[in-house]
């Protein structure tokens, strides 16, 4: 699964196609059967984690140098897309592993990379990302978590909110203020371990969707960590955080894409079996038009997402715009397509006996996290090609 950065923008390589087949088979056999129960019970999808780790698909982005698969950005997108097609909660395992660890990959010292990427690649640990706070959501630079130097250590105090897979992950990339006078340029990034004294977690949030992925607050109470756990130089944390999101918004686009594709696939099968007025409802033009629009928008989202993945791999100068565009467009498509899928199933679509209502609930968060779609439009406007 070595990286192939020269892949065609609009035609994934044979290796990518083979990867898709592998992930789809795995997802349908070992993740899909548990998706409804994971949602109903709001429990972590351990079966999915076990299946992904056993197939080395839980953190494919980790470079080969550190024991990873060395997958390129498109391969990572394909993994997330195919898992999300059957279970959005489970797709957050590879997605958030990338989100949490990418700051280390982008800006961390060689020692940090060796220490933390190896266990991640082996499946011995997961990685989460701590940026948002109770009073710092879209305005992330307004965070209050502090990191104060104390000899060869930093002492961290604060609260992080909306942290995906909190409590399950062993490692956390934490953004904290080291110089309050400099606002965004006074923020630094650190690796905090779950086992560090003073780290604790709030109760799991009771959410509309992605119920299988725990979302909790992370409390930092006089957490004392070695200074060499800082990611990059002091004051560069916010820049690293934003650079990370340029890449990982594409993984949220992939998740949205997978959710939408799963909903369309289920609706296509349903309308061929459901009969009214003596024939399958799929034979009616009104239904056909809905399916055509759904498929058309999904394909547009896929092309935009894959093109953005290619730009992520190359580090193109317009990545900020393209990543925001892919995330914004794909998530809007996912919300629209899943809503239409519920409509196509009629009353059945509104019940938990069928998966499309779960897909519709799961789709909503893709318009909100890693920057709301309103923020994405601001980002695009400020970075017009």
Please check whether residue 45 is in contact with residue 34, taking contact to mean a CB–CB distance below 8 angstroms: yes
What six digits make up the tokens of 316? 């193109």
Q: Coil, strand, or helix at residue 231?
A: strand
Q: Please tell me which residue in 81, 217, 357, 370 is annotated as part of the active site.
A: 370
What angle, 0 to 180 degrees and rounded to 10, lies between the N-to-C axes of helices 237-273 and 88-107?
160
Tell me the C-alpha distance between 180 and 169, whole Å: 29
Supply φ then ψ for residue 87, to 5 degrees: -160, 105
Q: What is the DSSP-derived secondary structure letter of residue 203?
A: P
Relative to beta strand 187-193, strand 199-201 is: unpaired
Active site includes 170? no
Q: How far is CA 165 from the centre of its chain?
A: 11
Cα gap 370→102, rounded to integer Å? 14
d(CA 358, CA 210): 9
C-alpha to C-alpha distance for 152 and 134, rounded to whole angstroms: 30
Residue written as token pair 């698909």? 57
**What tokens appear for 226 in the block?**
């070695």
Q: Which of 336, 341, 337 is nearest to 354 (CA)?
A: 341
The residue with tokens 């104060």 is 148
DSSP string computed for 137-200: SS-GGG---EEEEETTEEEEEEEEEEEETTTT-SEEEEEEES-GGGGGGGEEEEEEETTSTTEE
Structure tokens at 267: 């609706």
Active site residue ranges: 370
């Amino acid at each position: 699964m070595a990286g192939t950065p020269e892949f065609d923008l609009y035609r994934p390589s044979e290796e990518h196609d083979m990867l898709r087949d592998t992930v789809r088979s795995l997802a349908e056999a070992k993740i899909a059967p548990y998706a409804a129960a994971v949602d109903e019970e709001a429990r972590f999808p351990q079966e999915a984690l076990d299946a992904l780790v056993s197939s080395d698909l839980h953190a494919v982005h980790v470079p080969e140098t550190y024991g990873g698969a060395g997958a390129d950005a498109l391969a990572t997108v394909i993994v997330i897309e195919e898992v999300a097609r059957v279970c959005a909660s489970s797709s957050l395992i590879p997605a958030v592993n990338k989100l949490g660890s990418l700051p280390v990959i982008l800006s961390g010292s060689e020692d940090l990379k060796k220490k933390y990427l190896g266990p991640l690649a082996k499946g011995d640990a997961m990685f989460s990302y701590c940026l948002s706070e109770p009073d710092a959501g879209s305005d992330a630079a307004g965070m209050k978590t502090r990191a104060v130097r104390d000899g060869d250590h930093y002492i961290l105090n604060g609260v992080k909110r909306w942290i995906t897979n909190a409590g399950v992950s062993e490692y956390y990339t934490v953004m904290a203020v080291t110089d309050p006078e400099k606002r965004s340029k006074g923020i630094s990034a650190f690796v905090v371990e779950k086992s560090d004294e003073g780290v604790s977690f709030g109760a799991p949030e009771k959410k509309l969707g992605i119920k299988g992925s725990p979302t909790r607050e992370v409390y930092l109470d006089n957490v004392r960590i070695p200074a060499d756990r800082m990611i990059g130089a002091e004051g560069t944390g916010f820049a690293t955080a934003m650079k990370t999101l340029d890449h990982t918004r594409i993984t949220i686009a992939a998740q949205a894409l997978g959710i939408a594709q799963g909903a369309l696939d289920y609706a296509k099968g349903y309308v061929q079996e459901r009969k009214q007025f003596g024939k399958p409802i799929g034979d009616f033009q009104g239904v056909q038009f809905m399916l055509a629009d759904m498929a058309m928008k999904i394909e547009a989202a896929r092309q935009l997402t894959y093109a953005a993945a290619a730009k992520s791999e190359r580090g193109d100068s317009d990545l900020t715009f393209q990543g925001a565009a892919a995330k914004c467009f794909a998530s809007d498509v996912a919300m629209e397509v899943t809503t239409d899928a519920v409509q196509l199933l009629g009353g059945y679509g509104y019940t938990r006996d069928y998966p499309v209502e779960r897909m519709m609930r799961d789709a909503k968060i893709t318009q909100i996290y890693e920057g709301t779609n309103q923020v994405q439009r601001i980002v695009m406007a400020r970075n017009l090609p």
